[in-house]
Structure 1
């Protein structure tokens, strides 16, 4: 039983890597149902006294092969994507809800409002277009009056965009990230002391951003509270 469980675990892990599904939010309805069925098949095989490693491997290989073939088909033959993965649907066009499309996708007004709020849109009047994606999320294009102005809109010169880097995590220095940013441990310790920290172990999280002060978050639950 232990060997079967370990084999099933590692086989599922390898299969998910091969299929390339990394985020639940990216799964279509077909992918989600396939994952449930795959888990059910493996689970039933594990608790079947007559099933061993070979039977589990067969189940994984067969279902995994079917999913992989489906992925290849959708990549090579564009016409199959709408059938197997679904297609995006415009549910708001020119500021107006399209009732037929909403009904087709079993989407009522309350559900649509919930999806809009998840995009920080609290009124339909702000929306020019809204597209229901194949994974159930919604993409929103606001009306021009409700869009945030960009630097280009305000005729400001472009600014350099820098990516923040974690340099301390859970009281430990991330040396690879320091090296990537050409920073030293001595520099980091100086930054900590400037903000009142004597040891790295006092810091839960520290983030470096070029031309900005080092962001330092201490352990808030460690030790006794100060009075």
Structure 2
């Protein structure tokens, strides 16, 4: 196979898969359901096998990707509109710990053993199954945990901490480049930013690796190269 022809097919196949994934949405690579996993796997195998088959043209590859993408997109729309088939396509969450008791039948149904359950629980900072009141196995294979009352983390309301508004941190400089849209969103201009930098003896954006503004602090958080 001609190397230039192979490079062209790889490039076009990559671009087609990338565009298809963007159209289908983020569930193709995050919070993957069994259906999403199969779809992504087949799309990749389809392009990989076709590229190294000299009898398959690039147009056939694109046609196969488009047809498969349309099928996936159609089923995704149906799962959003028709609730009766959503559980079949995406799966259903399962309660594997109910009121502090491990549901063995639910573990068996989902092919989950106790060692795997302990691993998933530790990922949620629960190092003892005894601390869990409810645990739900989600469709993407992770678990959601509701600890027992005495093991739960106290909230600000529990501690009677006075209310304080929360500000989302905004990155103003990344890799020495000013993010003008972020600066505008924060409600400042370059004069203000330059003044902030000068207070830390910085005269040029290019010297700043990262600069972040938080509404509850007067000074910027700045890291230089």
Any conservation in 1 of the 2:172–2:213 contact (CA below 8 Å)? Answer: yes
**Residue 154 in 1 paired to residue 165 in 2?**
no
Distance 1:196 1:96, change over 3 A: farther
Deviation at 1:170, TM superposition (A): 0.9
1:106 is aligned, of 102, 111, 131, to: 111
**Residue 89 in 1 paired to residue 94 in 2?**
yes
Q: Which residue of 2 aligns with 1:190?
A: 195
Q: Which residue of 2 aligns with 1:218?
A: 224
Q: Which residue of 2 aligns with 1:207?
A: 212
Greater Cα shift, 21-30 or 56-65: 21-30
Count of matched residue positions in the alignment of Structure 1 and Structure 2: 219
**Residue 33 in 1 paired to residue 68 in 2?**
no
**Residue 49 in 1 paired to residue 62 in 2?**
no
**Residue 167 in 1 paired to residue 176 in 2?**
no
Deviation at 1:155, TM superposition (A): 3.4
Tell me the secondary structure at the aligned position of residue 87 of structure 2. helix
Q: Provide TM-score, normalisation by structure 2.
A: 0.89
2:145 is aligned, of 140, 149, 155, to: 140
Greater Cα shift, 155-164 or 21-30: 21-30
Provide structure 1 residue ranges, at least 5 long, that are not aligned to the other structure: 220-227
Deviation at 1:123, TM superposition (A): 1.5
- Aligned-residue CA RMSD (Å): 1.8
Deviation at 1:19, TM superposition (A): 1.1
Q: After the TM superposition, which parts of structure 1 deviate over 4 Å for at least 4 consecutive aligned residues?
A: none
Q: Provide TM-score, normalisation by structure 1.
A: 0.89
Deviation at 1:196, TM superposition (A): 4.2
Any conservation in 1 of the 2:27–2:36 contact (CA below 8 Å)? Answer: no
Deviation at 1:59, TM superposition (A): 0.9
Provide structure 2 residue ranges, at least 5 long, that are not aligned to the other structure: none
